Structure 1
């Protein structure tokens, strides 16, 4: 449900059949806080039920597209659970309307899961991407439901394991991004025009076809990935990693333990 007693963290505007949902929480780099996720799911569901809408355009205010899970909430135990993140990603994937992402700034961790769930992603020159979980004692668990079905396996291994950032061109090369362009809005014009001209029933059927692999991955691995995320989040490494990030210091890692585990592969 959208919170009505506070300022919404997701804003909607409509234009000729396109519902633009803008992540509007720049103070924390559009992190996936519990409230932002609630707002976003509610807007996605409303757009899905709106007969006047052909597609959803997901964009952002501020410098960053999405910095991943809100770590302040995670440290306090009040943040988005692995189950809730999986629900958000499934909502995007299973929506009957195509969801297009417009990215003009950094996307990190869970934010990349959101991009993986979108049907089309356009990114500009200021966009950058990183699976930063290993640097704070976690792993890209639940977001793998949408990312691994799209990503080149060698690239997934490199960027999952190192946490290093990569640019829009590389994101397009490895399958995370559809379009990398210096002018994102110009690049999106023919995409949005095509979606506006499509028959709604045919559009939903076409999306169902193109999301087959992701939906199958969800069915096979979501429970396992949620369990992995919960196990890692409750471990000492995550406690130290999140604390060091919020305290702006380097983490102090102890020797490897049995709490780490590999996510399933395709």
Structure 2
């Protein structure tokens, strides 16, 4: 479910679960965590590039085979704490929990025309609870309010303005090339210590709020309103509250 390739200090981890649009199933989350652990131990890895197959980076939580909130929080924290930069490369759709992965990454680049984004939780009766841990320290407050509350889709340019993306480009690989070359030239210690400075506020959010948000997420997903919202989503119909 996660494939690995290595080239001159950069290890590329590719989400490869096309049957469910790279949704965050328990198996996918475990596979990505294991791959990141391998990268952390390997001195040949200077940085990690996180990308995807197909037209969807991640559809968010797998509603049929979900990972536990604790497991997903652990995965996001692993990305944040990894002593090597993690760079996201997006050429498709990103929804809900997939945005949590982007928030945990140090840098995120997306195709200007092919990528789009949405916090769809509000439309199924839940909230973007645990993904707020890496996202809210990075997001512009007005953008967070708009997209959390409406669930509307927005493009890569708006995602840059919101603080989700580093850059939107017509040729995402061309935009990434100088960044990856820069990471190859940086020292391992310099990268690790610079990343510690950059992620301090995000890690404080995990320390202070993770347990509360895990409990909140778990309670929302078993509520009657969420059961209706999830059923409506799976049945491709409007939920009972839609007017």
**Into which bin does the TM-score normalised by the smaller protein fall?**
over 0.9
Contact 1:128 1:167 in 2 (8 A): yes
Task: Encode CA deviations 1:88-147: one digit per residue, 9 max, x unaligned.
Answer: 100100000100000000000000000000000000021000000000111000000011
Shift of 1:26: 1.1
Report SS of the residue matched to 1:232. helix
Of residues 36, 45, 51 in structure 1, which corresponds to 2:37? 45
Find out whether 1:238 has 2:234 as its counterpart: no
Of residues 229, 234, 238 in structure 2, which corresponds to 1:250? 238
Of residues 103, 108, 118 in structure 2, which corresponds to 1:130? 118
Q: What is the TM-score of this pair, normalised by structure 2?
A: 0.98
Task: Encode CA deviations 1:27-80: one digit per residue, 9 max, x unaligned.
Answer: 11100011110100000010011000100000000110000000122xxxxx21
Task: Encode CA deviations 1:205-231: one digit per residue, 9 max, x unaligned.
Answer: 000111011011111111111111011
Find out whether 1:112 has 2:104 as its counterpart: no
Contact 1:72 1:246 in 2 (8 A): no
Report SS of the residue matched to 1:71. coil
Match of residue 259 from structure 1: none
Paired with 1:101 and 1:217, the residues of 2 have a C-alpha distance of 21
Contact 1:237 1:253 in 2 (8 A): no
Match of residue 54 from structure 1: 46
- The equivalences for 1:106-255 within 5 A come to 106-124=93-111, 125-253=113-241
Runs of at least 5 residues in structure 1 that lack an aligned partner in the other structure: 1-8, 74-78, 255-266
Match of residue 84 from structure 1: 71
State the aligned residue count.
241
Runs of at least 5 residues in structure 2 that lack an aligned partner in the other structure: none
Paired with 1:253 and 1:72, the residues of 2 have a C-alpha distance of 23
Paired with 1:26 and 1:197, the residues of 2 have a C-alpha distance of 34
Paired with 1:240 and 1:84, the residues of 2 have a C-alpha distance of 25
Moved more, 243-252 or 184-193: 243-252
Moved over 2 A (4+): none
Shift of 1:253: 2.9
Paired with 2:148 and 2:162, the residues of 1 have a C-alpha distance of 13
Paired with 1:104 and 1:207, the residues of 2 have a C-alpha distance of 25
